[in-house]
Amino acid sequence: MEALNRTGVSEFFLKGFSAYPALEHLLFPLCSAMYLVTLLGNTAIVAVSVLNVRLHTPMYFFLGNLSILDICYTSSFAPLMLVHFLLAQKTISFTGCAVQMCLSLSTGSTECLLLAVMAYDRYLAICRPLQYPVLMSRQLCLLLVGASWAFSLLKSVTETVIAMRLPFCGHRVVSHFTCEILAVLKLACGDTSVSEGFLLAGSILLLPLPLALICLSYALILVTILRVPSAAGCHKAFSTCSAHLAVVVLFYGAIICMYMKPKSKEAHISDEVFTVLYAVVTPMLNPVIYSLRNKEVKEAARKLWGRIWTSR
């Protein structure tokens, strides 16, 4: 990573919400609470999914991966962001900035793909239940998850290397609370067209296409459940799908507003608000929406807690 540092900049200053001290004082306890809920909720989902044999199914395998992603994604910037809320000097080293950028890009990109995989899994389970065990085999599950992680990591490393090799000419004030790639590119005094081209290609691959697959999957699911003769069963399925879609809309909507809007050299506080939405709020809501509302997960968690309490 040191080879990247040929720009004359050894560290960056993360401006964040420095212009709004009162807002920082409000955000510190709020974001701390959300980060704690994210850690506890997603860790609980992973533990329950691994320790309960009944949950060793494709659905919970994907949920476990989503929870690990959410923990890694939020942890790539949240601890430093919380520290900076309390400090006047909000700096990060050049190498630390590159690592943070790569980790957040990689985990965020993987989540885009994994949400599409999970929607496809639910489509097969609800619309083709008899063929589901064959179609969604263990090998396919591992392949889908492994490909999502590998592709996103390769894409993110490439984008980070290209961005951090640009000359910054002494400019080092990032108008963001993390080393978000678009905010860092605004500091470059060289040609950013290659970096922006890679970002646009990645955005097209990871935003409209997976979102279209998610919408198609849930549309087919809704068509199927509307044919269910049981009103209670139909209501339950519709409630579950609408909750899942709410998280998808929040996550994808915020990212699309960030990465597919017209580029501007001017920094806007709305960029940071969108980042909070998809990088802090969504990982906190995922355990509630995808798992903690699920009776199987709650029953498994209750039994696991009972065994732990009894062993004491």
CA-CA distance, 44 to 308, in Å (whole number)? 13
What are the residues whose beta carbons fall under 8 Å from the beta carbon of 287, sequence distance 6 or more?
38, 41, 42, 44, 45, 67, 70
Can you give the pLDDT at residue 171? 74
Confidence band, pLDDT 50/70/90 cuts, at residue 282: confident
Confidence band, pLDDT 50/70/90 cuts, at residue 295: low
Per-residue pLDDT at 59 exceeds 60:
yes
Can you give the pLDDT at residue 308? 63
Question: 134: exposed, middle or buried (C-beta count within 10 Å: 0-12, 13-18, 19+)?
Answer: exposed
What are the residues whose beta carbons fall under 8 Å from the beta carbon of 172, sequence distance 6 or more?
9, 11, 12, 13, 187
CA-CA distance, 41 to 59, in Å (whole number)? 17
Weakest-pLDDT range from 43-47, 93-97, 143-147, 235-239: 235-239
Buried b (16+ CB within 10 A) or exposed e, 160-176: bebbbbbebeebbebbb
Weakest-pLDDT range from 57-71, 145-159, 215-229: 215-229
Per-residue pLDDT tens for 228-258? 766 666 666 666 666 677 778 777 777 777 6
Confidence band, pLDDT 50/70/90 cuts, at residue 65: very high
Q: Are 214 and 114 in contact (CB under 8 A)?
A: no
Domain 12-305, CATH: 1.20.1070.10
What are the residues whose beta carbons fall under 8 Å from the beta carbon of 171, sequence distance 6 or more?
9, 187, 188, 189
Phi/psi of residue 136, each to 5°? -105, 70
Which is nearest to 39 in space by CA: 81, 65, 68?
68
Phi/psi of residue 309, each to 5°? -65, -40
Can you give the pLDDT at residue 180? 87
Dihedral sign computed on CA atoms, order 78, 84, 90, 93: negative
Per-residue pLDDT at 164 exceeds 50:
yes
Domain range summary for the chain, segments of one domain joined by +: 12-305
Model pTM score: 0.84
- Tokens 């996550």 correspond to 251
